Structure 1
Amino acid sequence: MARGSDKRGLGRGLSALMADIEPNTAAASSGEQPGGAHRGERLVPVEQISPNPDQPRRKFSQSALEELAASIREKGIIQPLILRPDPVDQSRFQIVAGERRWRASQIAQVHNLPAIVRELDDTEVLEVAIIENIQRADLNAVEEAQGYRQLMEKFGHTQEQLATAMGKSRSHLANTMRLLQLPDEIQTMLQDGQLSPGHARALITADDPLTLARRAAKEGLSVRDVEKAAKAPPKGTTSKSKSQKKTKDADTRILESDLSRILGMGVVIDHDTDAGGGKLSIKYKDLQQLDDLLRLLNTN
């Protein structure tokens, strides 16, 4: 399929994909068989449908699926799934949007699902999946961050592009993606609802985020409590240990050494973990070294 990304831009969303297709709200009132197809739709056997492996949403509440299944038994599927031909097996279909409905339909033992089939590439599928879930608040904070990272790493989108497409501020994207810096156990606690995104953001700057996270979950600490605890120096901290806190980590020292060796000049890296940026200083001993550095930069 020829890509139309240059024309459509990031974040086309569900409404554009569905064009003038309206939700199947008439099914229940007209006495039609639940799950029947309407204009622009087709019925697809549930066993021919597979989930999208890049779907950013990983957790599905079983109780919520049971509730949706009960609704499907009574009223059918109000909104069709959006599918695309499976890239590996053209006799099958891959879900673009509607995995919850697909899962709940299996519980409700509905065998044929109304669907709209679209020809979409991998970029469009991932964009729609993320946008759909974020717009409907269906993703937890970790899944949202992973979705943003997927779009940036797999398809080269910038934070500015994502912020515009998602209707979010760039700071929101940056703060959300910082959650992926936390230990896996804390990310799991966040996904399970033991911690809120506010708790998690406060933990990023803590000296021992995992211990503080466990304490917050056990004692029911507020976000403000976690913020204060994260800023407080560890018990028994002396002025000497405070200065040691500023000691550079091994990776930074190794990077300084490598750059110094490559350039033949002294290199100092001051990285601000909180801000995510920093300063790189290169020390030259004479104008000849400065000329050499400029020539090297211009060549590269």
Structure 2
Amino acid sequence: MAEHKRLGRGLAALIGDVDEDPSAAQAPAPNEQPRRPRRAPIESLKANPRNPRRTFRDDELTELAESIKERGIIQPIVVREAGDGTYEIIAGERRWRAAQRAGLHEVPIAIVDATDIQSLEFAIIENVQRADLNPIEEAAGYAALMEQCNHTQEQVAQIVGKSRPYVANLVRLLKLPEQVKSLVRHGQLSAGHARLLVGHANPLVLAEMAIDEGFSVRQLEEWVRTPEGQPGDAYMAKMHKKARGGTTTPAKDADTRALERRLTDALGLEVSIDHKGEKGSLTIKYTDLDQLDDVVRKLGG
């Protein structure tokens, strides 16, 4: 366990205020990763596929890009050598993306030696320490630490400085349907609300009810305790009536909802089907250009 405790402290030193002048940097403590600050062409850096953070808000990147234009990048981006003169980002992907928007040609980097597992651990811990992850990303990061690094929940909790029940409860969110997880990713539904819906027969209906009615966690808990199906059916009728300006329309049939879930799972994006007679429409929702690129590739574009 001592090694896991040290990892968190080593990361703090690793991504701390690294001076761009190598001679000004303090000598690393024994067993800690050496820091070698330098500058590198921005195009020589590439994203870390193990980074648990997948959502980069456009407005935040724009704001950071404006700051970088005025002040530059104060803290180096932590990378490891990937071969062919390129570097894989371990910590600082958001700064790298914003630097591209700001039109920088070079960025300060700190090169470290790290294995795939260490790279994953560093990326997760950095984001958790900086509160940069939404609950679903954080849960996926903890799950990756357990699956890829063979850590127990107790070890993960110690690494990231959280309690074991906190880690266990968060990882349970990954069992939710993709549509509910999307609500959590975008801040529409809290992790506390979402945790109550794990294993429920109608999680999406109850999630939308909680959002629409402004339910507290306690209020949602009362709904969850009622007989399954009844609150969902009643609320679906109310929701459709409200959407149609008072005209009640039937809820989607089971086959349509099942097909929506299959397409959502296949694409990793929220899919909605509006079917009427022999025709209708299919809507795929994305939140950034990376997701749009992914769906275009999957559709053969």
Instruction: Tell me if both proteins adopt one fold, taking TM over 0.5 as the criterion.
Output: yes
Letter in 2 for 1:93: Y
**Distance of aligned partners of 1:134 and 1:235 in 2 relative to their CA distance in 1, 3 Å threshold:** closer
Whole-Å separation in 1 of the counterparts to 2:4 and 2:199: 41
Q: What's the offset of the Cα at 1:205?
A: 4.9
1:38 equivalent among 9, 13, 21: 21
1:22 and 2:54 correspond: no
Whole-Å separation in 2 of the counterparts to 1:7 and 1:173: 15
Letter in 2 for 1:195: L
Asked if structure 2 preserves the Cα contact closer than 8 Å seen for 1:81 and 1:95, the reply is yes
Alignment of 1:185-196 (within 5 A): 185-196=179-190
Asked if structure 2 preserves the Cα contact closer than 8 Å seen for 1:48 and 1:92, the reply is yes
**Distance of aligned partners of 1:219 and 1:80 in 2 relative to their CA distance in 1, 3 Å threshold:** same
Q: Following superposition, which runs of at least 4 residues in structure 1 exceed 6 angstroms of deviation?
A: 5-8
CA RMSD of aligned residues (A): 2.2
Q: Which residue of 1 aligns with 2:63?
A: 67
Q: What SS does structure 2 have at the residue aligned with 1:151?
A: helix
Per-residue CA shift, 1:15-68, capped at 9, x if unaligned?
2335xx7345xxxxxxxxxxxx42241111000000001110000011011111
Alignment of 1:138-149 (within 5 A): 138-149=132-143
Q: What SS does structure 1 have at the residue aligned with 2:90?
A: strand
1:225 equivalent among 191, 205, 219: 219
Asked if structure 2 preserves the Cα contact closer than 8 Å seen for 1:72 and 1:108, the reply is yes
**Distance of aligned partners of 1:9 and 1:22 in 2 relative to their CA distance in 1, 3 Å threshold:** closer
**Distance of aligned partners of 1:174 and 1:223 in 2 relative to their CA distance in 1, 3 Å threshold:** same
Alignment of 1:141-220 (within 5 A): 141-220=135-214
Q: What's the offset of the Cα at 1:78?
A: 1.0
Q: Which residue of 2 aligns with 1:32?
A: none
**Distance of aligned partners of 1:80 and 1:167 in 2 relative to their CA distance in 1, 3 Å threshold:** same
Whole-Å separation in 1 of the counterparts to 2:89 and 2:138: 19
Q: What's the offset of the Cα at 1:6?
A: 6.6
1:81 and 2:77 correspond: yes
Whole-Å separation in 1 of the counterparts to 2:188 and 2:5: 40
1:54 and 2:37 correspond: no
**Distance of aligned partners of 1:236 and 1:198 in 2 relative to their CA distance in 1, 3 Å threshold:** closer
Whole-Å separation in 1 of the counterparts to 2:4 and 2:205: 49
Q: What's the offset of the Cα at 1:224?
A: 1.6
Q: What SS does structure 2 have at the residue aligned with 1:84?
A: strand
Per-residue CA shift, 1:244-265, capped at 9, x if unaligned?
xxxxxxxxxxxxxxxxxxxxxx
1:106 and 2:103 correspond: no
Asked if structure 2 preserves the Cα contact closer than 8 Å seen for 1:69 and 1:105, the reply is yes
Q: What's the offset of the Cα at 1:165?
A: 1.3
**Distance of aligned partners of 1:211 and 1:8 in 2 relative to their CA distance in 1, 3 Å threshold:** closer
Whole-Å separation in 1 of the counterparts to 2:225 and 2:5: 45
Runs of at least 5 residues in structure 1 that lack an aligned partner in the other structure: 25-36, 238-300
Per-residue CA shift, 1:238-289, capped at 9, x if unaligned?
xxxxxxxxxxxxxxxxxxxxxxxxxxxxxxxxxxxxxxxxxxxxxxxxxxxx
**Distance of aligned partners of 1:58 and 1:13 in 2 relative to their CA distance in 1, 3 Å threshold:** farther
Q: What SS does structure 2 have at the residue aligned with 1:168?
A: coil
**Distance of aligned partners of 1:42 and 1:216 in 2 relative to their CA distance in 1, 3 Å threshold:** same
**Distance of aligned partners of 1:147 and 1:235 in 2 relative to their CA distance in 1, 3 Å threshold:** closer
Q: What's the offset of the Cα at 1:236?
A: 6.3
**What is the TM-score of this pair, normalised by structure 1?**
0.68
Letter in 2 for 1:72: I
Q: Count how many residue pairs are aligned between Structure 1 and Structure 2.
A: 217
**Distance of aligned partners of 1:6 and 1:190 in 2 relative to their CA distance in 1, 3 Å threshold:** closer
Asked if structure 1 preserves the Cα contact closer than 8 Å seen for 2:139 and 2:171, the reply is yes
Q: What SS does structure 1 have at the residue aligned with 2:127?
A: helix
Q: What's the offset of the Cα at 1:187?
A: 0.4
Letter in 2 for 1:124: Q
Whole-Å separation in 2 of the counterparts to 1:213 and 1:194: 9
Percent identity (aligned) = 47
Letter in 1 for 2:179: E
Asked if structure 2 preserves the Cα contact closer than 8 Å seen for 1:13 and 1:131, the reply is no
Whole-Å separation in 2 of the counterparts to 1:101 and 1:84: 16
**What is the TM-score of this pair, normalised by structure 2?**
0.68
